[in-house]
Amino acid sequence: MLFRTLFFIFIFVPFLIVVIPLQALIVALRLPFWQVLPRAFHRLGCLFLGMRVHVIGTPSTGRPTLMVSNHISWTDIVALGSVANVTFVAKREVRDWFFVGMMANLQRTIYADRTRRSETGRTAQAMGQHMASGNAVLLFAEGQSDIGTHVLPFRSALVGAAQHAMIEAGARDVVIQPVTVAYTRLQGLPVSRNERSLIAWIKSKSVGQNIRDILAGPLKDVTIAFAEPLPLRETDNRKAVTKAAELQVRAMLVALNRGGPLPGQLAQV
């Protein structure tokens, strides 16, 4: 804990003092290299949080990509952001959180209001426009976080809406890429079910308690597995596409948690 305190004071804070106004200017001017500083921020965040990130496969780049992933903890964002240039889709409340909302805005986060179905179209349009420029958008398709032992059913509404919005925005060569996040070890040892409460944001814990557990917790090994991107056509059935991605993410999570070989095709390194 002493190391993290010193790291925060002497490295993280000075980094933020320089980077925040610089990134705000980059975003305001819509410069093409806006993803460089957020990537550096997330990599530094992994060091601060005690996360070693291992990558299997390769994130899709240079073409419109919708990534769909499982969700375990808010630290997923830091881990994913350290290895892939992505824009996240987050719940609307995040925008109003102290400091977190500001940092999310600087990474051009797209917000979704899950309490109002009428907002689905607006969120999908924002996703489509961003992807039409050749960028990747990552959607936590379960709609909520889980403890990391299994995958909840993926919601297809935003996948289908974004599918049409991308076409309307002029996107071509669109792909969907299943992504799996797995926390496999704590201090070098396999994670037990009871220890997952030190990682996952479970409902019985407050935000403050969850943050304290992670900051005071041991070194965590996180594996990010990128499956082979699949074409996403306007005529594809959104429920079938979403279900196929869900099954692939679930199979990869089970394999990673068990330490076994991954099933199916992964993007080649």
At 117-168, the pLDDT tens digits run 777 788 888 888 888 888 899 999 998 888 889 999 998 888 887 777 777 7
Q: Is residue 182 part of a domain?
A: yes
Cross-strand pairs, 1:
none
DSSP state of 251: H
Whole-angstrom Cα distance, residue 18 to residue 181? 30
Q: Is residue 134 part of a domain?
A: yes
Q: Is residue 36 part of a domain?
A: no
Is residue 268 predicted with pLDDT exceeding 70?
no
Count the domains in the chain.
1
Quick: pLDDT tens for 11-40.
Answer: 999 999 999 999 999 999 999 999 999 999
Q: Is residue 91 part of a domain?
A: yes
> Which of 80-89, 167-176, 199-208 has the lowest average pLDDT?
199-208
Q: Is residue 61 part of a domain?
A: yes
Q: Is residue 264 part of a domain?
A: no
Q: How confident is the model at residue 269 (pLDDT cuts 50, 70, 90)?
A: very low
Is residue 205 predicted with pLDDT exceeding 50?
yes
Percent of the chain with pLDDT over 70: 95
- Cβ neighbour number for residue 91 with a 10 Å cutoff: 14
Rounded mean pLDDT of 44-50? 95
Cross-strand pairs, 140:
69
- Cβ neighbour number for residue 36 with a 10 Å cutoff: 13
Q: Which domain holds residue 79?
A: 50-258
- Cβ neighbour number for residue 12 with a 10 Å cutoff: 17
Q: Is residue 247 part of a domain?
A: yes
Q: How confident is the model at residue 222 (pLDDT cuts 50, 70, 90)?
A: very high
Q: Is residue 268 part of a domain?
A: no
